[in-house]
Amino acid sequence: MAVTPEDIAFVHDLFSALPALSHRKMMGGLSIYSEGQIFAILSAHGQLYVKAKGALAQDLESEGSEIFSMTRKDGKIATMGYWTLPDASLDDPEEAGRWASRALAKSE
């Protein structure tokens, strides 16, 4: 499943409070940037993840978020430092913007 124009519009609406929002298509998904800095990805399956480690990752996990993972060719599970955006944030641009701002702060 590839990212659709509707998916892209959703991401831009959800993170509209962030400055200089942009995106790039990648591997069937989308990488999402604010002022040129990546802070989130949208998987080819439509799952939205924000970049997180440390306290932010712990806070996301306590909200029920899950870490991005994939099964490699050798059968091992690989994870990346991206966590699903809490479900309640997917309908709330203000809340999504707060998580994204924290993701951007941790990326510096």
- Joined tokens for residue 76: 């091992």
Angle at 49 between CA 44 and CA 75, to 5 degrees: 65
Per-domain residue ranges for the chain?
A: 5-107
Is there a contact between 52 and 82 (Cβ–Cβ < 8 Å)?
yes
Mean pLDDT by 10 residues, the chain (108 residues): 89 96 91 96 92 95 93 89 95 96 79
Cα 21 from Cα 64, distance rounded (Å): 26
Question: In angstroms, rounded to a whole number, what is the distance separating the alpha carbons of residues 33 and 35?
Answer: 6
pLDDT at position 35 = 96
DSSP letter string, 4-25: PHHHHHHHHHHTTTSTTEEEEE
- State the architecture of 5-107 in CATH terms: 2-Layer Sandwich (3.30)
